[in-house]
Structure 1
Amino acid sequence: MASVFLSYSRVDRPKAQQVAAALEEEGLTVWWDKVLKAGQTYDEVTEGMLRQADVVVVLWSTVSVKSRWVRAEATLGERYSAVVPAMIQEADRPILFELTQTADLIGWDGDRTEQRWNDFVTDLRHAITRKAVKTAEQPVTAKPAADTASAPAAPARSLADDGTIENTFWMSIQSSTDAADFAAYLKRYPTGHYSDLARNRLAALEAKAKAKTPEPVFAAAPVQTAPARPATQTPARQRKLSMLPLIAGGIVLLLGAGWGVSLLLPSDLEVPETVAEQAADPVEEPVVETADAETVARADTVAVVETGVADAVLTEAAFVAPSEETVAAPEPPQAGPRRDCDTCPEVVAVPGGTFLMGSPDSEPGRVGNEGPVRSVTVAPFVMSRSEITYADWDACLADGGCNDYRPGDMGERGDMPAMSISWRDAQSYVDWLSGKAGRTYRLPTEAEWEYAARAGTQTAYWWGDGFDRSMVSTGGPKAASNMPENGYGLVGTLGNLREWVEDCYVNNFSNAPTDGSAVLTGSCDLRIIRGGAWSDNAATHRAANRARVSRGTRDRKIGFRVVSSDVKP
Structure 2
Amino acid sequence: MADIFFSYKREDRPRVEPLVRLLEREGLKVWWDPDLVAGERFDEVIAEEIDAALCVMVAWSAHSVRAPWVRDEASRGMRRGVLVPMSLDGTEPPLGFGVIHTPDLKGWNGDEQDPRIRHLVADVVGRVTGKTPDVGSHEGADRSALSRRRLLQIGVGAGALLAAGVGGWALDRAVGRPLPPIRTERFPVASVDATGARLPDQTGSAEVFDLPVGNASLPFAIVPGGGFVVGSPDNEPGRRANEGPQQQMQVGPFAIGRTTVTQTQWEALVEASPAPVERPLAATPSSFSGPELPVETISWIEASEFCARLSALTGLTLRLPSEVEWEYACRAHSTTPFHFGPTITSALANYLGTGGAVVRREGDADVVSPDYGGLVHESGAYDQGPLGLYRAGTVPVGTFPPNRFGLHEVHGNVWEHCADVGPVDYERMPDGGTPYTGDGGSHVLRGGSWSHNPAICRSAYRDRMSADNPGWPGRVGLRLVCEI
TM-score, structure 2 length as denominator? 0.48
Structure ranking higher in helix proportion: 1
Higher relative contact order (CA 8 A, sep 6+): 2
TM-score, structure 1 length as denominator? 0.41
Higher CA-based Rg: 1
Structure ranking higher in strand proportion: 2
